[in-house]
Each structure stands twice: as C-alpha cells, then as structure tokens.
Chain A
Amino acid sequence: MDVLSIENLHKRFGDKEVLKGVTLKVPEHSIFGFIGKNGAGKTTTMKHILGLIKADEGKIQVADETVVYGQTKTNKYIGYLPDVPDFYSFMNAREYLNFCGEITGLDKKTIKERSDELLSAVGLDKEKHRIKGYSRGMKQRLGIAQALLGEPKLLICDEPTSALDPLGRKEILDILLSVKDRTTVLFSTHILADVERICTDIAFLDGGSIKLSGKLSDIKGKYRSDEYIIEAENDEAIKELLKEFRGLKRADNMSGKVLTFKEADISLYKVLGYISEKKLPVIKVERLEPSLENLFLEVVG
C-alpha cells in the first residue's frame, strides 16, 4: 500500500514554473530518498503534502485521504521536520514535546511515556537546558522527536542531514533507520551517500518532474553495467593478462594494477579460468555497481 501518492502536481511562483507534473508513490514502511539539486523543488513539494501551499493542479493523497490546502485533517498522519527547524527557544526539550502533545490532543500519560521514549531515542533525555542554546544537530534530533510524537504513518524530513558534520549525520541516519518498522520515512537530500546508506526507495526530482523513481535495488539492477575490474598484486600479472586478452584495458586514475573489461567483449569465466590456471596473484575481481553519483549525473545530466 502507498502511504503517499502525488499525481501530476503543478506549481508556479510568478513566471517560474517550479513543479511541472510531479508524480510520486511512497510505499508503506519504506525509507524514501527524495533527491534533487538545490532549488529543484523538494521543499515546495513537501509543503504541498502538508497543505501549506496551494497547488495549481494535481492531487495529493495521504493514507488514502486527499490533502486540502489550508486544512490540517491529513496532517494527523504526518510528522514533519522542516529544513531549518526552529522551536520555542524559551522551552526545554521536554516542555516542547509536552506542548506538541497537548496541541495534538494527546492525553497526559501518553505524552509522558512517548516523550521519555523519544527523548532517549534521540539522545536528549539528559538535556535540561532551554532550546535557545542547542546546536544544529541537537535541534535536528529534537525535530525528529517532535515529528514522531504523534506516531505518524509518514515522517517527512526536509534535508535532515545537510547542515551536520559526519558524526551528526550518522546519528540522524541511524535514528531514521531505527524507526523504519514504525513508520514510513520520506526525506529529501542532495547527499547521495546518505541515500545509499539507508534508503529502500528513491526518486530523482529534476527540472520540475520525477526523472527516475523506484526501489533502490531495482534501479541499481537496471543501470548495472556489465563492466568488471580486476586488481592484481603485481605488474607481472597485469602484463600477462593484457597479453592474453585483447579487450582488457588498464583503468586510469588508479595504481596501475587495475584492469577493466566488459562482459560483452570477454567472457568472465575465461578470465577467471586463466587466472586460476596460471595462479596469478589477484586481489579482487569485481562487478562495477552503478553509484548513485553516476546515476544522478546521468539523470540530471
């Protein structure tokens, strides 16, 4: 089942058409990476999902209910972490969660239980200071806690890792990964390494529409090339292989002890057979995985 479906979403700001027919489906219990360059329209799309911006055209459904601009009915299914989260700085984390729980309409006991659990999950349970003095990483973590307080079906995070250092990023990604069983995560980013680390599904937004979307493993499978690399221990082995197989090429930009070839030119098994027959000292033979980086460049071009 899809928690979120967007159909043919259009939006223009003045004479600038930002979204030109975005269509997107987010399956339940996925960690969905929403990838796009700066200014691609990621934030704009997310604000549409929350009913904060009026669409020019198109339909958005959250848990099979249609989103209406200016209304908050479908927002009960959603937890939202904005790109630059700002909270009431005169409160501390616990007071803020308490406030969030009360405006959501949760009862005292539930608020207390969930606050305890979430604060320790994001590592803020010992923090007594007011939010005023929080670092960006702490604000992002509090942001995730407040977004999860209502036990949403869909957690929307707008570039949760962009402003953080590697350690802070890892912390946030680990938290997102750990809530996968409870909810569906949709997060926007332009950091492809983050996507590779935790996402099950992805979509590329570019030029106002989705250029590519689906399961990460499917997409990688589809774009998988038939290219292999062989890394050898010494140059003699390399030379011997080059003499035997005509289609082998030295890979540039490496130590010089790496060769590449395409399955179409040379059979992998012939190469492997030759290596074992001659007992050549190889370090690895590997099929090249398409990196998201390459995919991104290919799609965005």
Chain B
Amino acid sequence: MKSLYAFTKKEIMDQLRSNKVLVLGIIFIIFGIMNPAIAKLTPWLFEKMSDSLSESGIQVGKITVDALMSWEQFFKNIPMGLIAFVLLESSIFTKEYQSGTLVLSLTKGLKRHNVVIAKTVVLVLLWTVCFWMCFGITYVYNDFYWENSIADNLLFASFCWWFFGIWVIMIMVLSSTLAQNGSGVLLGTGGVVFGIYLISMIPKVDKYMETMLTTGYSLTTGASETSDYTVAVIVTLIVSVVFFVTGIIVFNKKRL
C-alpha cells in the first residue's frame, strides 16, 4: 500500500513537472470558454454576413441563442479534448520501458500490479479533473448568459461522455501493457475506438456499443431518454473492468 502511494505520488510529480497538467489544463479551459463564446457570437456573425447573404437571395431570420446551443458546442468540442489527452499521455507507460526506470523500481520490491494501478489512477484523475473543469466553466457562463435548465438530463449526458473517456483510458492502459512504444499505444487505442465506431454504424447494434455514450447531446434536447443508455453504460463498465484486469495480467508477464 505504501509503495503504491509512493509510486502514485511520483506519477503526479511527473505530470506536474513535465508540464502535462499545465498543457491539458489550458486546452480544457479554452474549450470551456469557447463553447459559450461561440454560441454568444453566432448571431453577431450571422448579422455580419446577412448583408452579403441577402444579396445572394438568402433570407436570414432572427437567430435566438440559448444554453442548448452552447451545450451543443460542448459535446462537439470535448472529443478534441479527449484526443489531445490521449496524444499527450500515450507514452505514460512506454517511456519507462525504454528508459529502464521501471526495472529499478521493480527490483526494489515494487509489485508489478501497483505500476498499472498507479498509472491508471493518475490518468482517470487527470481526465476527471479536465472534463469536469471544462463542464463547469461552460455551465457557469451558460448560467450567466442564459438558462441552463432548458437542457434536459445535462448531468447524465455529461456523465456518459466522461465515462466514454474512462473506457478510452482503459484501452490505453491495455495497449500500453502490450505495446513497446507510444505509437503502438496510439495505434491500439485509435484502432479499437475506430473499430467500435464502425460496428456501431450497424442499425440496432449502436445501442450496445460504447460509442453510444458520446451521443449525449440528444439527451439534452429530449430526443432520447436516459433509459436508452442503460445497456451502453453497463457494457462500457464491464468492458472497462475487463480491459483493466487484462492489462494487469499482461503486465505481470511482460519482459522488461
């Protein structure tokens, strides 16, 4: 337990001192501000363009902007945040294979599964903070300009997206125990997500797939109900746990 704590502490120190926390923080804060800002600026943009548009015969009606528009931006932008997160963290395991720093820790009696647990905890923690910070910023701005209550199931919809991120992290963890370098991890993670995305294009199957969790915007508009998501949440939970446990088993046998 003490060595797990020490290793986790070291991971956090690494994240802080290598400025990863700073970079991710900036990215997610920018997204958080951008969501309401884009919504706020849309009418103004249309007004600017309306002259040239009416010349070409297109009539632009008055646009009303509300919190939903800002939340739509939120769900559109958060995938980019996740991609940035995966790119930045893809070598969290593999850089230690190459440098041999892990071997030293392991020869000092650190249990192998503690390595996987510590790194996963830090990834989950970082994603959670980044995601909900972005959410919080958008929420506060929306509340200031408009009315958040018009978005239905807002918390649940966001939770689904956050949970999708957790699933992606578990794919990263499993890929990291299998691959030797960061590009292998990116390939594995990207491959699995893309594969699931392709499968979910099949009608009727999409409800069972993890990618369902990214469609939370339709919850906020009332186009879907929370019960539509039950299966996807359960599937994602099970798959995430399986990936994590498999990662530990693979790592225990890995030649370092």
Q: Which residues of A contact B (CB under 8 A)?
A: 50, 52-53, 70, 72, 75-76, 78, 80, 82, 84-88, 90-91, 95, 99-100, 102-105, 146, 150
Contacts and interface: CB of A to CB of B under 8 A. Distances in A.
B65 to A, nearest CB: 45
A53 B255 contact: yes
A76 B109 contact: yes
Contacts of A82: 100, 103-104
B54 interface: no
B29 interface: no
B107 A102 contact: no
Nearest to B11: A88
Given A102-B3, A103-B3, A90 B104 contact: no
Given A72-B106, A150-B108, A91 B3 contact: no
A104 B5 CA distance: 12
B14 A90 contact: yes
Given A76-B109, A103-B110, A150-B108, A70 B253 contact: yes
B104 A105 contact: no
A100 B103 CA distance: 12
B104 to A, nearest CB: 7
Interface string B92-112: 000000011101111111111
Interface footprint category on B: 20 to 34
Given A72-B106, A75-B108, A91 B252 contact: no
A86 B100 contact: yes
Nearest to B254: A70
Contact of A78 (B6, B7, B107): B107
A55 to B, nearest CB: 13
Interface in B60-83: none
B111 A72 contact: yes
A99 B6 contact: yes
A276 to B, nearest CB: 61
- Per DSSP, chain A at the interface is loop
B256 to A, nearest CB: 7
A102 B6 contact: yes
Interface string B1-30: 011011101100110011000000000000
Contacts of A104: 3, 108-109
A105 B2 contact: yes
B12 to A, nearest CB: 11
A76 B111 CA distance: 12
A90 B107 contact: no
Given A82-B100, A86-B99, A91-B13, A75 B107 contact: yes
A90 B19 CA distance: 11
Most chain A CB atoms below 10 A, which of B14, B110, B111: B110
Contact of B104 (A76, A85, A95, A102): A85
Nearest to B14: A90
A99 B112 CA distance: 16
Contact of B13 (A70, A90, A102, A103): A90
A87 B109 contact: no
Most chain B CB atoms below 10 A, which of A84, A91, A95, A99: A99
A72 B103 contact: no
Contacts of B104: 80, 82, 85, 87, 100, 146
A141 to B, nearest CB: 15
B2 A84 contact: no
